Structure 1
Amino acid sequence: MKGTSLTTLLLLALVLVCPLAVSAQFKLSAEVRPRTEFRNGFKTPTSSGFDPAFFTEQRSRLNVDFKDEKYAMRFSLQDVRIWGEVPQIFKEDAGTSFLSEAWGQYFVNETFSVKAGRQIISYDNQRFLGGLEWAQQGRRHDALLFIKEDPEKKMKLHVGLAFNADKDRLEPAYLQAPGASFYSVAGNYKSLQYAWYNKTFDDKKGSLSLLALNATLQNPDSTVSNKQTFGIIPRIKAGKVMLAADLYYQSGKIGDNKVNAFLAGASATLPTKATPITLGFEYISGKDDDDDSSDITNFSPDYGTNHAFNGLMDYFFVGPANGNVGVIDLYLKTKFKVGKGALLLHGHQFMTGSRQLDGEGQELGSSMGFELDAVFVKKLAPAVTLHVGASALLGTETLTTLRAGNEKFNQWAWTMITFKPTLFDSEEEKKKKKKK
């Protein structure tokens, strides 16, 4: 849909909803987030003679939230574009404006609700299911959710269902026709079913989450494949130390190939007077080069916010794939207060998650490199936040052998300013009137 049409619909919704805000909750918010990046070896090693990339990408959003006693709705209009991709004077829409979210939620009772539409599906630390908000476009699902949340029992149970079809086609295809059920959108599932359970322990001692998910994938012919992912995500506080783990297993079949892959991660966070210190590791299974079986043993965190894991330079599971290599990530994370801001420092030592061979059949060393990430964050105003980041990755011979680039030292720098104001909030307006 054209961006101008979406804007018209959203403005019409505002006109219709505003009069109802007297008794219900109505909120209008916005976001403008330009991010400038210098890339010289981001996502994959650069090569000698290559020029670095420099650009600014901007996300702009207008959000409408409405909540009454029995239902809630959200509309989010979004525009994502690179500075300069559209001429100063133009007539045609660049196709960069679209609906980010459009969902409704019906509250059956105080603890049970049904939510349907285009929405963010995000749980726990977003390792497997996340909104991917670092990416300017984010990640969204067209889904139906059954939500059971009981605050007294500190329990949550979400069951989600999705079935995807191609864009509008001629009517006979949606009646009955050969290939009417074929789904051709690349990189997406044909259908999804999942259940997520979360229990918070008393006295803030931790929590436990369980995930069971099945993704049905369209094969090149008219058949489908099914891949299952099962997860256990515990968080336990032992004294002052917070212990966390992520355990996932994938099974099923893709085509004629069996899936047998896993992810295991654990961390310990210790607060100190100066800074919190987090030590952790993550092992994501890969496939040995000399493994002749057809089994798929490389784990894939399909729908998570992968930018938040395995280094900010996105060398693994973001953009160019890590292939079947897998990864072992040993990391140290900390955070310092700097003036009125904060400085985040992350160090990662990467190793292969499988046995890899060079072109002559000799085994490669396991070390792929070391990455250092630094991010400065400062709140400039209640609705304005500044981020400045710099990262460097020193790769090894193993990394440059497995990847296309030949440079071992790679860099990335970026700066981002986020404007995220609340333009109108009926609840705040009511409070102001009561004070008068």
Structure 2
Amino acid sequence: MKKIYLLTIILCSFLVTNTIAQVRISAEVRPRSEFRNGFKTLTDDSKDPAFFTEQRSRLYLDYTNSDFVFKLAFQDIRIWGETTQIFKKEPGNTFISEAWGQYFFNPKFSVKVGRQILSYDNQRFLGGLEWAQQGRRHDALLFIYESEEKDTQLHVGLAYNQDDDVPEPTFLQGDGANFYSVAGNYKTMQYAWFHKDFNTGGFSLLAHNAGYQNADSTVSNKQTFGFIPNVTIGQVTLKGDFYYQSGKQGTNDVSAFLAGINATIPTAVTPLTFGVEYISGDDDLTDGKNTNFNPDFGTNHAFNGFMDYFYVGPANGAIGVNDIYLKTKWKIGKGSLQGHLHQFFTGSSQYDTTGESLSKAMGTEIDLVYAIKLAEAVTWNIGYSQMFATDTMESLRGGDRTHIQNWAWTMITFKPTLFTSSK
């Protein structure tokens, strides 16, 4: 890894002296310590709380000239202590985070190809997931049209994934050569995203298709259609998210939706955001219908509470969620305190082991995050969250709702610019 960093710096120096372009080298070091005691699911007296520190280290190279843009980002992710102090073999946590190039045919039309972040609107369905230390990346080809004069953007993206389970030359042809065995990822992906701005707001439209490999070598295609509007009326800003999913997932027909709306109102003390989001779901798939909406590629940590009880990780259930929330932020000294309050309900009817109907109320979550900028390239965050679960949550997730369910974390981010050439 050190050799790669050194080679990158030498390459940058060569580019600066031999081309009319701009080169920027930046870095990031972001350790985050977490205390987990009921994070993602309920805990009980039989389980010990967890404490650990995970660190992200990155080196970014950005190159720009009049015809194209190029980016490389090297990344190392590790938990403190997971490797010995003295080792000869790299544990394999160092890899390429981003590697893409964007060529401009003219100022409005370009093509972008490589390993990249796909992030749109509020990242509800397509997001970079930068809260996770590793982030979320796609290997994709994008056709991009952007017009500042018309306040219009159109992105069309394509991807076809393959794994390396069969080495070359057999990989190139033969039985099963195109079978995709990487779990949890799509085999093919196509999407179109359109955005238009107006004086008082704007809207986005999304049409997305993801093809997933089935065990019998067929491919199931699931479509997601989105409408994401925003408008400011007087001093009130309204935002919405409306998505519908169709197609197939395995042998089941998909028919699911997400609908959310919020209003931000300024006050003399702090802005207040009131919102509600309903996500359809049903854990009964015996009828061949799947009503479970899934924000497959979004930054899901930013929604439905920071304790990640829903749509983050595999153990979230498939019951749907109705989230009623209040969000605000106060300025405290040189920093700010962010506060969120969530009330969660099930998105479908649920029953206990005796067949009795459960209450839809699952619990209340409180999230607090304090952030302060210590220096030009240094930011410190500290957070605390607590879940007040109901009997319904305990019945669905296990654990003990009377046990304290909390999560605390602190993170410091160093993100300096190491070098910038003249234009």
TM-score (norm 1): 0.94
Q: Aligned-pair distance for 1:15?
A: 4.5
Structure 2 residue aligned with 1:19: 17
Q: Aligned-pair distance for 1:5?
A: 6.2
2:196 aligned with 1:208: no
Distance 1:76 1:426 in 2: 18
Give matches, 1:256-335, under 5 Å. Answer: 256-287=251-282, 289=284, 292-335=286-329
Q: Is the 8 A contact 1:284 1:299 kept in 2?
A: yes
Distance 1:372 1:224 in 2: 41
Structure 2 residue aligned with 1:186: 183
| Runs (4+) off by over 6 Å | none
Structure 1: segments with no counterpart, 5+ residues:
431-436
Q: Aligned-pair distance for 1:49?
A: 2.1
Q: Aligned-pair distance for 1:343?
A: 0.3
Distance 2:339 2:18 in 1: 47
Structure 2: segments with no counterpart, 5+ residues:
none
Q: Aligned-pair distance for 1:20?
A: 3.7
Distance 1:349 1:305 in 2: 20
Structure 1 residue aligned with 2:336: 342
SS at match of 2:289: coil
1:167-186 Cα distance to aligned partner (Å, 9 max, x none): 27332433320101000111
Distance 2:89 2:398 in 1: 38
Give matches, 1:145-294, under 5 Å. Answer: 145-167=142-164, 169-202=166-199, 205-287=200-282, 289=284, 292-294=286-288
- The CA RMSD measured in Å over matched residues stands at 1.4
Give the residue type in structure 2 aligned to 1:404: G
SS at match of 2:301: helix
Q: Aligned-pair distance for 1:8?
A: 5.7
Give the residue type in structure 1 aligned to 2:275: G
Distance 1:19 1:179 in 2: 49
Give the residue type in structure 2 aligned to 1:190: K
Distance 1:220 1:160 in 2: 26
Seen in structure 2, the aligned counterparts of structure 1 residues 4 and 30 have a Cα distance that, compared at 3 Å, is closer
SS at match of 1:174: helix
Q: Is the 8 A contact 1:6 1:98 kept in 2?
A: no
Structure 2 residue aligned with 1:417: 412
Q: Aligned-pair distance for 1:292?
A: 4.4
Of residues 346, 369, 389 in structure 2, which corresponds to 1:395?
389
2:109 aligned with 1:119: no
Q: Is the 8 A contact 1:43 1:320 kept in 2?
A: no
Q: Is the 8 A contact 2:166 2:177 kept in 1?
A: no
Distance 2:18 2:298 in 1: 37
Q: Aligned-pair distance for 1:161?
A: 0.2
Q: Is the 8 A contact 2:38 2:406 kept in 1?
A: yes
Q: Aligned-pair distance for 1:294?
A: 1.4
1:248-287 Cα distance to aligned partner (Å, 9 max, x none): 0000012221000000000000112210100000000011
Q: Aligned-pair distance for 1:138?
A: 0.1
2:138 aligned with 1:144: no
Distance 1:220 1:186 in 2: 11
Q: Is the 8 A contact 2:307 2:407 kept in 1?
A: yes
1:129-176 Cα distance to aligned partner (Å, 9 max, x none): 000000000000000000000000000000000000002733243332
Q: Aligned-pair distance for 1:86?
A: 1.1
Q: Aligned-pair distance for 1:14?
A: 2.9
1:338-379 Cα distance to aligned partner (Å, 9 max, x none): 011000000000000000111111111000000000000000
Q: Aligned-pair distance for 1:405?
A: 1.8
Q: Is the 8 A contact 2:162 2:187 kept in 1?
A: yes
Distance 1:229 1:298 in 2: 12
SS at match of 1:259: strand
Structure 2 residue aligned with 1:434: none
SS at match of 1:37: strand
Q: Is the 8 A contact 1:6 1:99 kept in 2?
A: no
Seen in structure 2, the aligned counterparts of structure 1 residues 52 and 259 have a Cα distance that, compared at 3 Å, is same
1:1-49 Cα distance to aligned partner (Å, 9 max, x none): xx4564465345334433246x211100000000000000001001222
Distance 2:195 2:355 in 1: 47
SS at match of 1:171: coil
Distance 2:378 2:6 in 1: 28
Distance 1:348 1:13 in 2: 49
SS at match of 1:179: coil
Distance 2:18 2:238 in 1: 47
Seen in structure 2, the aligned counterparts of structure 1 residues 325 and 44 have a Cα distance that, compared at 3 Å, is same
Q: Is the 8 A contact 2:162 2:180 kept in 1?
A: yes
